[in-house]
């Protein structure tokens, strides 16, 4: 499902308004999905990524749909700005300089593979976002990460690291799902 330019602009405005409300009132923007077009009321998962002067400043999202898309974006924008544990909360002077990026995910699809080499051969660089799970270890990379890690082996190695696993880890319990995103920003 592709969003129209107007729907994309609406989601970016909702994300920015949610961060503004967070600065003013300490809470995310409350949205009533009924006030938005049908495509934005659908249950979809999304990530909101913030950049400041080209550097990551926050990124929060859901891998599976838990709410209408417009509500998910409002909540994730607020969380990316104020609850990403890697960063301090966004300050008022930073707000006007933030670049927002939204990634709307397709439902994750489990992959079938017989080995790490088989998995690497199936990964589609620039297209696939991956969710790697082994026991309690779990990590994901959005497809946009391919820009900084264009080789499948590097992508998978760093994903293992993000999941808290050794970079050379492999076991029969490794599970990987892939998803795609529709991504846009301001």
Q: What is the mean pLDDT of each run of 10 residues along the chain (186 residues)?
A: 93 98 96 96 96 95 94 98 97 96 95 97 96 96 93 97 96 96 93
Give the predicted TM-score (pTM) of the model. Answer: 0.86
Give the whole-angstrom CA distance, residue 7 versus residue 40: 7
For the domain bounded by 109-180, which CATH number is listed? 3.30.1490.150
- β 137-141/175-179 pair status: unpaired
Give the whole-angstrom CA distance, residue 107 versus residue 76: 18
Where do you find CATH 3.30.1490.150 in the chain? 109-180
pLDDT of residue 12: 98
Superfamily holding 5-105: Hypothetical protein ph0010; domain 1 (3.30.700.20)
Where do we find the tokens 């799902």? 177
Backbone angles phi, psi at 53, to 5 degrees: 55, 40
How far apart, in Å, are the Cα atoms of 83 and each of 61, 75, 87, 129? 11, 11, 8, 23
Where do you find CATH 3.30.700.20 in the chain? 5-105
183's tokens? 């991504």
Can you give the length of the chain in residues?
186
**Whole-angstrom distance between the N-terminal and C-terminal Cα of the chain?**
20
Measuring CA to CA, which residue among 74, 86, 64 is closest to residue 18?
74
Give the whole-angstrom CA distance, residue 26 versus residue 92: 12
- ∠ CA 35-41-47, nearest 5°, is 115
pLDDT of residue 1: 64
User: Cα 30 from chain centroid?
Assistant: 21
């Amino acid at each position: 499902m592709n969003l129209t330019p107007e729907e994309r602009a609406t989601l970016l405005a909702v994300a920015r308004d949610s961060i503004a409300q967070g600065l003013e009132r300490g809470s995310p923007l409350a949205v009533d999905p009924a006030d938005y077009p049908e495509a934005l009321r659908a249950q979809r998962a999304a990530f909101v990524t913030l950049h400041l002067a080209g550097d990551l400043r926050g990124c929060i999202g859901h891998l599976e749909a838990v709410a209408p898309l417009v509500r998910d974006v409002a909540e994730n924008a607020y969380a990316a700005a104020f609850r990403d544990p890697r960063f301090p909360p966004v300050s008022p002077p930073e707000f006007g300089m933030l670049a927002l990026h939204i990634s709307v995910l397709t439902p994750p699809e489990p992959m079938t593979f017989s080995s790490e080499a088989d998995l690497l051969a199936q990964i589609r660089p620039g297209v696939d976002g991956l969710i790697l799970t082994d026991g309690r270890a779990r990590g994901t990379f959005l497809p946009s990460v391919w820009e900084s890690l264009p080789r499948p082996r590097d992508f998978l190695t760093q994903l293992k690291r993000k999941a808290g696993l050794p970079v050379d880890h492999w076991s029969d319990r490794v599970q990987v799902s892939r998803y795609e995103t529709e991504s846009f920003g301001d």
